[in-house]
Chains A and B, each alone.
Chain A
Amino acid sequence: MIPFGPRAVLRAIASYLPKDLLTNEDIFARYGEWSPEKISTKTGISTRHVCAADEFTSDLAVKAGERLFALDESFKEGIDQILLTTISPDYILPFTAGMVQDALGLPTTVAAFDITLGCSGYPYAMTQAAAMIESGRARKVLVITSDRFTGYTEAGGQDIRTLFGDAATASLIEAQDDGKPPLSGGLIGATRLGTDGSGALNLLIPTAGMKGFLGAQKRDIKQPTVEMKGPEVFDFTLRVIPKHVRSFLESEGLAVEDVDIWVFHQANLFMIDHLRRRMKIPEEKFVEHIAEVGNTASSTIPMALQAAIDAGRVKPGHRVALLGFGVGYSWGTVLLEYQG
């Protein structure tokens, strides 16, 4: 239920992609397993952007923030919170959002913190930002998604090297008061979040964090590398995601066909297209934005949403569903009403 009082509007999204590219040809040259065409057909990915050696999550985040502020200089004024989702922070200590506050030149009155979520990060951060605004505790929230995730795939096998890319996005969430003209952007409506920690070890970086440094899971490898049990993760999405969406929509008095645009976390094309067909979502309502960027963790949803807006697919009055799912396991859906 949305309370009376100020509502939260997603005003704008900007993104930043590092300039270096990792192509399917590069991957085939290294691993010699799947041909570039097969990678493209199965995953929907042709290229990924990867950070330079001296480029890290906070750098991507700052670049995305600067691009957001370049869209409209008023966006920077009066920000009172930064929520930064990342699973590849510059350091374990300190948190990344603080360094980003300083580098963006935002005042020390800003509350800033990290959210340690991956593919569900954007719906969680949007929900948190909306809750802060609707409760009157904030007026303007900067939501940043940023990951140098390829740092976790460099030493890994073809399966994980193929899927992931680096990126950051910055979104401005702003209060819209009762009785005032609607702000441009997407009015944040109902949200539903979920967690199943029983799947925690199926998508794991076992050598980072205190348990990784000191615990029994420490392994003799040169750099932290993500380990993914693909069949287990896929099974989770098949078991949980369609039911989650159906139950959430029913609780809001809606059905799948009442949503005009669906923006899923862009895990890989095979997985999301299978989910789309199982959920009976027509292709024309479904956003695919993975070919040139890969799976960029919590940045996939805002980048795909912005691509759909730029392409003119999202029209005033449209109901948009943003659906994230993955590591944790964790999932969430946010409904937006696009106000133009």
Chain B
Amino acid sequence: MNRTEFLDKLTEALFMDKGSLKSEQALKDVKWDSMHSLEFQALVDELFDRRVDPVAIGDCETIGDLCDLAKIEPDA
């Protein structure tokens, strides 16, 4: 699964419009909150059976940082 496909699934989980999340977007600009973090953790767990370090989530500043943390490769 590439990053675009992952972000499509994340936007769906967060009730956002398709295509509205981009790697370069700042989390504060999408009003990212703790429930969004939970959705992100759950999606990574469900899709990849992978754990995301919850403390490191707090250090992320952009959507791309979150994807890097979850080891989701950028699109080719």
Do these two chains interact? yes
Q: Chain A's nearest CB lies how many Å from the CB of B56? A: 9
Report A-chain residues with C-beta under 8 Å of the C-beta of B38: 230-231, 234, 270-271
Q: Check A246 for interface membership: any CB of B closer than 8 A.
A: no
Q: In the bound complex, how far is the Cα of B39 from the Cα of A238, in angstroms? A: 13
Query: Looking across the interface, which residue of chain A has its beta carbon closest to that of B37?
Result: A231
The segment from B3-11, B20-28, B40-48 that touches chain A is: B40-48
B45 and A274 contacting across the interface, CB-CB below 8 Å: yes
A234 and B46 contacting across the interface, CB-CB below 8 Å: no
Q: In the bound complex, how far is the Cα of B57 from the Cα of A61, in angstroms? A: 40
Q: Check A180 for interface membership: any CB of B closer than 8 A.
A: no
Contact code string A122-148 (vs B, CB < 8 Å = 1, else 0) = 000000000000000000000000000
Interface residues in A, total, Cβ within 8 A: 18
Report B-chain residues with C-beta under 8 Å of the C-beta of A159: 33-35
A235 and B51 contacting across the interface, CB-CB below 8 Å: yes
Query: Looking across the interface, which residue of chain B has its beta carbon closest to that of A239?
Result: B51
Q: Check A42 for interface membership: any CB of B closer than 8 A.
A: yes
Interface residues in B, total, Cβ within 8 A: 18
Do most interface residues of chain A lie in helix, strand or loop, or is the interface mixed?
A: helix
Report A-chain residues with C-beta under 8 Å of the C-beta of B57: 231
Report B-chain residues with C-beta under 8 Å of the C-beta of A41: 15
Report B-chain residues with C-beta under 8 Å of the C-beta of A278: 45-46
Q: Check B55 for interface membership: any CB of A closer than 8 A.
A: yes
Report A-chain residues with C-beta under 8 Å of the C-beta of B46: 274, 277-278
Report B-chain residues with C-beta under 8 Å of the C-beta of A33: 33
B41 contact from A38, A42, A229, A235, Cβ within 8 A: A235
A234 contact from B33, B41, B58, Cβ within 8 A: B41
Report A-chain residues with C-beta under 8 Å of the C-beta of B39: 270
A230 contact from B34, B51, B52, B55, Cβ within 8 A: B34
Report B-chain residues with C-beta under 8 Å of the C-beta of A231: 34, 37-38, 41, 54, 57-58
Counting chain B CB atoms within 10 Å of each CB, the highest count among A159, A234, A239 belongs to A234
Q: Chain A's nearest CB lies how many Å from the CB of B44? A: 10
If A231-B41, A231-B58 touch, does A238 touch B34 (CB 8 Å cutoff)? no
Counting chain B CB atoms within 10 Å of each CB, the highest count among A33, A232, A271, A277 belongs to A232
Counting chain B CB atoms within 10 Å of each CB, the highest count among A41, A229, A231, A274 belongs to A231
Q: Interface residues, chain A, CB within 8 Å of chain B?
A: 33, 38, 41-42, 159, 229-232, 234-235, 238-239, 270-271, 274, 277-278
6 residue pairs A–B, Cβ–Cβ below 8 Å: A42-B35, A231-B38, A235-B52, A277-B46, A278-B45, A278-B46
Q: A38-B15, A231-B58 are in contact. List 19 more A-B contacts (CB 8 A).
A: A33-B33, A41-B15, A42-B35, A229-B54, A230-B34, A230-B35, A231-B34, A231-B38, A231-B57, A232-B54, A232-B55, A234-B54, A235-B41, A235-B52, A238-B51, A270-B38, A274-B45, A274-B46, A278-B45
Q: Interface residues, chain B, CB within 8 Å of chain A?
A: 15, 33-35, 37-39, 41-42, 45-46, 51-55, 57-58
The 3 closest A-B pairs by CB, nearest first: A231-B54, A230-B34, A235-B54
